[in-house]
C-alpha cells in the first residue's frame, strides 16, 4: 500500500520513478508524504529502492520521473549543497586532516557564517552529542562510536530542518548501536527535526520511528507506525520481513464478515482474520506471531483455536524460551514464552496442544 502524496507534507515524493538503464525501474511510482518533525524510516532488503529514494532526496541521484518537494517547493533541479539538508552516513565521512571542531565548522564556513557564530554553534553541537571535550582531537584519535557522534553533530550544526541518515549505525557493535538509537531519536524529537532514516535492521526501525515505510521491489509495501506494522501486516512480505512470524498454508473455505475459515494443507481447519483474501477457494498464508501462541491450556482464552503439535527443540534464551514445533506439516513453527517460574519445560518429542485467538491470526496473500 503506497500512501498518496499530499501537499501538507514537509517532504513529498509525487509519482517518483527511477531507472538507471532506461528499462528497469529501481523505484516504481512512489508517492510518500513525510510530516514536519516526523521520524520516518525507510526499511527493506538490499536492492528494494530505499537508499535510491534517500539519494534522490539528498540530490545525489536524479528522479527519472515525478517530483520531490521540500516545504512545498520542487527540489529536483536544486544541487545537493543548496538543499540545506544534514546527512549522516555509515562511514562517517569526516575529514581526517581536520580536528573535530574544524570538521564541524566546515559546513558553517561554506554558509559564510562569522567566526564567533561558528564557534558558538560548534560548541553547542558538540555538547548536544556529549563530545564537548573532544574539539581538538582528530578523527583517527576517536573510537567508531565517537566518530559517529561527531558525524551526527556535523549534520546538526547548521540547524537543518531535514536530516537524512543512511545506515548510520551499521558499523557499530550491538550495545553501542542500541545506545545510539536512543540518542538519535531523543535528539531528533528534542530539536523537532524531520528525519528520514534508511536501514535494513527491523529492530532499529521499530524502536526509532514514528512511521516506517517497508520497501520491496521498488515499491512501498506498507507505510504505518511500528506497532501497526508488526501487529497488522498487510501482506505476506511485511509479515515475514518484520520480526519473527509463523505461516501455515491453506485454502479459504468460508468468508463470514471479519472472520474467514481456512483449511490447511494437512486438513486442519482454523479461523482467521481475512486481510488480503477476498473469496472462497483462494490460497492463503495464515500468519501468527510466536508470542501470540499459548501451549498452556489454563492460559488459553475462550474461543481459542487448538492444534496438535510436536516439540522439535526447546531453547533457553535468558528472558524468553523459544520452542520450535511441528504444526500442520510445518517443522519451523515457533513459540516464544516468557521466562517465568511456572513455565513448563518441554522436551523434543513431546506431543502437546497449542492455541491462539482468531483475531491474532491473519489470512494473507499466498
Can you tell me the distance from the alpha carbon of 219 to that of 252, in angstroms, rounded to the nearest whole number? 28
Report pLDDT for 71.
93
Taking each helix axis from N to C end, the angle separating 144-156 and 100-110, rounded to the nearest 10 degrees, works out to 20
The answer to whether residue 344 scores a pLDDT higher than 60 is yes
pLDDT at 145: 86
Asked if pLDDT for residue 347 goes beyond 80, the answer is: yes
Q: How many C-beta neighbours within 10 Å does residue 360 have?
A: 17
Report the percentage of the chain scoring pLDDT > 70. 97
- Average pLDDT of span 129-138: 89
Q: Is the pLDDT of residue 194 over 90?
A: yes
CA-CA distance, 184 to 99, in Å (whole number)? 23
Q: Which domains does the chain have, with CATH numbers?
A: 11-236 (3.40.50.300), 245-365 (2.40.50.140)
pLDDT for the residue numbered 215: 96
First-last CA distance in the chain? 17
- Per residue in 228-275, pLDDT (tens digit) is 999 999 999 999 999 899 999 999 999 998 899 999 998 889 999 999
Q: Which residues pair with 117 in a beta bridge?
A: none
Burial string for 306-335 (b: 16+ CB within 10 Å, else e) reads ebebebbebeeeeebbebbbebbebeebbb
C-alpha span between 206 and 241 (Å, rounded): 12
136-189 per-position pLDDT tens digit: 999 989 988 888 889 889 888 888 899 999 998 887 888 888 888 998 999 899
Residue 359 has pLDDT above 90, yes or no: no
Query: To the nearest whole number, what is the mean pLDDT of the chain?
Result: 90
| Higher pLDDT, residue 207 or 344 | 207
Most confident of the following: 51-65, 122-136, 287-301, 303-317? 51-65
Looking at residue 4, what is its pLDDT? 39
Residue 305 sits at φ, ψ, to 5 deg, of: -95, 130
Which of 189, 196, 117, 186 shows the shortest CA–CA distance to 157? 117
Task: Name the phi and psi angles at 36, rounded to 5.
Answer: -60, 130
> Of 311, 300, 306, 305, whose CA–CA distance to 346 is shortest?
311
Place 76 in a pLDDT band, splitting at 50, 70 and 90: very high
Per-residue model confidence (pLDDT) at position 3: 42
The answer to whether residue 193 scores a pLDDT higher than 70 is: yes
Is the predicted pLDDT of residue 293 greater than 80, yes or no? yes
pLDDT the model gives residue 7? 42
List Cβ neighbours of 46 (8 Å cut-off, separation of 6 or more): 200
Stretch (H or E) spanning 142? none
pLDDT exceeds 70 at position 5: no
Write the pLDDT tens digit of every residue in 89-120.
877 678 899 999 999 999 888 888 888 888 88
CA 153 from centre of chain: 23
Q: 6 falls in which pLDDT band (50, 70, 90)? A: very low
The pLDDT of residue 159: 85
Percent of the chain with pLDDT over 90: 58
pTM of the shown model? 0.88
Amino acid at each position: 500500500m503506497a500512501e498518496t502524496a499530499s501537499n501538507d507534507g514537509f517532504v513529498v515524493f509525487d509519482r517518483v520513478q527511477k531507472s538507471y538503464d532506461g528499462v528497469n525501474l529501481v523505484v516504481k511510482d512512489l508517492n510518500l508524504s513525510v510530516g514536519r518533525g516526523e521520524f520516518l524510516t525507510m526499511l527493506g532488503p538490499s536492492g528494494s529502492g530505499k537508499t535510491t529514494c534517500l539519494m534522490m532526496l539528498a540530490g545525489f541521484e536524479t528522479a527519472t520521473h515525478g517530483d520531490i518537494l521540500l516545504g512545498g517547493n520542487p527540489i529536483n533541479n536544486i544541487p545537493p549543497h543548496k538543499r540545506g539538508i544534514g546527512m549522516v552516513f555509515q562511514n562517517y565521512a569526516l575529514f581526517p586532516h581536520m580536528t573535530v571542531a574544524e570538521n564541524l565548522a566546515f559546513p558553517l564556513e561554506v554558509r559564510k557564517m562569522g567566526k564567533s557564530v561558528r564557534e558558538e554553534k560548534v560548541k553547542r553541537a558538540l555538547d548536544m552529542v556529549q563530545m564537548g571535550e573532544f574539539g581538538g582531537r582528530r578523527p583517527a584519535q576517536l573510537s567508531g562510536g565517537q566518530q559517529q557522534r561527531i558525524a551526527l553533530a556535523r549534520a546538526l550544526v547548521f540547524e537543518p530542518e531535514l536530516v537524512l541518515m543512511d545506515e548510520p549505525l551499521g558499523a557499530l557493535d550491538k550495545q553501542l548501536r542500541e545506545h545510539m538509537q536512543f540518542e538519535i531519536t531523543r535528539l531528533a524529537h528534542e530539536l523537532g527535526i524531520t528525519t528520514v532514516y534508511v536501514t535494513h535492521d527491523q529492530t532499529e526501525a521499530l524502536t526509532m520511528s514514528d512511521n516506517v515505510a517497508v520497501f520491496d521491489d521498488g515499491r512501498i509495501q506498507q507505510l504505518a507506525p511500528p506497532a501497526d506494522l508488526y501487529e497488522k501486516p498487510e501482506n505476506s512480505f511485511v509479515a515475514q520481513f518484520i520480526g519473527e512470524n509463523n505461516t501455515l498454508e491453506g485454502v479459504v473455505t468460508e468468508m463470514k464478515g471479519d472472520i474467514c475459515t481456512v483449511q490447511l494443507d494437512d486438513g486442519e481447519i482454523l479461523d482467521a482474520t481475512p486481510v488480503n483474501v477476498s473469496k472462497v477457494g483462494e490460497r492463503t498464508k495464515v500468519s501468527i506471531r510466536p508470542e501470540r501462541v499459548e501451549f498452556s491450556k489454563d492460559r488459553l482464552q475462550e474461543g481459542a483455536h487448538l492444534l496438535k503439535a510436536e516439540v522439535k527443540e526447546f531453547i533457553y534464551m535468558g528472558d524468553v524460551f523459544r520452542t520450535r514445533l511441528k504444526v500442520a506439516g510445518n517443522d519451523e513453527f515457533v513459540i516464544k514464552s516468557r521466562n517465568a517460574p511456572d513455565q513448563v519445560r518441554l522436551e523434543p518429542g513431546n506431543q502437546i496442544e497449542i492455541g491462539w485467538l482468531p483475531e491474532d491470526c491473519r489470512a494473507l496473500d499466498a
